[in-house]
Amino acid sequence: MEVFTLTIELIFGEADEGWKRVIEIPENYSLSDLHFFIQEIIEFDNDHMYEFYAGKNWRNKKIAYSETGATPLESNEFGEILLKDVYPLPGLKLYYLFDFGDNWTFEIKKSRKKKYIEKGVTYPRVIESYGGNPAQYPNWED
């Protein structure tokens, strides 16, 4: 089974510095699985709606993978759409939008280099990390 190497970069959101993670994730994981893994690695609360879409840039939505987005508790179509069905995206990039109020927007790029499941490795996993996690609610007092 193929393992995709994805570079996930925060391109819009209230962060003090750049945030980027390179992950390896099996091709048979769904967009919903990817959502939960991003929530885990950025340490957000998974308490808002989200969506995935593809376009030439983050303002250009050519492919909507759901017309309504999804709630934290229900994945809608995202649980049924596998990464192997999303890629390749010729000329387009995948975007993940979390929290329709704060609009945390992530660009997701897939490496062209093919990799396969390695015995003894737990997936998904982060293989490179740049920048600290931003606060999900930066203006809130603790």
What pLDDT, in 10s, does the model give residues 88-121?
999 999 999 999 999 999 999 999 999 999 999 9
pLDDT band (50, 70, 90) for residue 142: low
Q: What pLDDT digit, counting tens, does each position of 29-73 carry?
A: 999 999 999 999 999 999 999 999 999 999 999 999 987 888 877
Give the percent of the chain with pLDDT over 90: 82
Q: Rounded mean pLDDT of the chain? A: 92
Q: The tokens 């945030």 sit on which residue?
A: 19
- For 49, what's the count of Cα atoms within 13 Å in the CB-facing half-sphere? 9
Distances (CA, A) of 65 to 9, 117, 138: 20, 26, 29
Q: Which residues of 49-70 are buried (b: 16+ CB within 10 A; e: fewer)?
A: bbbbbbbeebeeeeeebbeebb
pTM assigned to the model: 0.93
